[in-house]
Structure 1
């Protein structure tokens, strides 16, 4: 069982209202709707840090991921989860997190209400070896092209598409 399988995760309904708290492995087994924080880490050139997920991840193992982040634990806010996950996965703390939008995503393995944040950081990063195999900064167009050749987390691709379709969001990101 994945080491975090016993974490207690916040479960929500279709309207993103809190309804329960269950161990992570139950959330995955029953494909329950949960919350997650996504943190897009940009450098000053506007490139996004992309990470390769380890094969031990409980969802989308070995995929490329456009965001640091993860599930919101019971009793935790999106913002608290974002700060915790950014520190755990990339070793980054003390940066300003900008809220971009909330998004619902669903596929056969994952039903999630996500809050998408952005921040600016140039690295270097301290990668969490249990979750991140490696990573590097990439241009948005390069990431979208990567999705044609390699598996990229589908919820992450939805975030990128929304960014591309919303110039005001990209402008907000560029301002930091």
Structure 2
């Protein structure tokens, strides 16, 4: 995986070459990713789904993250990124079902990782029962959902902890949990990234 080739860009999103994933994260080159956010409405309440990263992951193990996401390889288009949804969480979705939220730029600097991403962000509004998810267990340990208004309140510093419910796979078995979480349980994307995401989703929910 570290030897996969990805396109690299300057901050104006102009392509400047190709590099391995390892080199990109070592030198902090800008590169493209695909982000898929799943939301559903139940009894008039909007919920957002997050994946729990596997504890075996090299980066950010056992933290809450985007519903499904991945890097775009040098020979891939943005549309090819939808493969991550099937691979990571087992859902079959099509590009025409998704709402583009545009490109979000963000940086995470946690030595030795320098992660500068140009994220192509998509929203999928569909009711999906928990038993529809089939997890790629080396990548994803569980799926949780939380009220979107709670998710928003957390990242706008209106509260410190919010409830979520979902399941985790342990030794091949599913266990359901209700938990209270704070920002420290999320992958440390910059707060401005979460706030920009929330603003874009709210525009779509109007």
TM-score of the aligned structures, taking structure 2 as reference length:
0.71
Q: Does residue 194 of structure 2 align to residue 160 of structure 1?
A: yes
Q: With a CA cutoff of 8 Å and minimum separation of 6, indicate the structure with the bigger relative contact order.
A: 1
Q: Does residue 117 of structure 2 align to residue 112 of structure 1?
A: yes
CA–CA separation in structure 1 for the residues paired with 2:85 and 2:137: 14
Which runs of 5 or more residues in structure 2 are unaligned?
155-160, 163-180
Deviation at 1:6, TM superposition (A): 2.2
Aligned length: 168
The structure with more radius of gyration: 2
CA contact (8 A) 1:52 1:133 kept: yes
Partner in structure 2 of residue 70 of structure 1: 70
Task: Please identify which structure carries the higher strand content.
Answer: 2
Which runs of 5 or more residues in structure 1 are unaligned?
none
Q: Does residue 23 of structure 2 align to residue 26 of structure 1?
A: yes
Which SS does the other structure have where 2:185 is aligned?
Answer: coil
Summarize the alignment of residues 88-103 of structure 1 with structure 2, pairs less than 5 Å apart: 88-95=87-94, 96-103=97-104
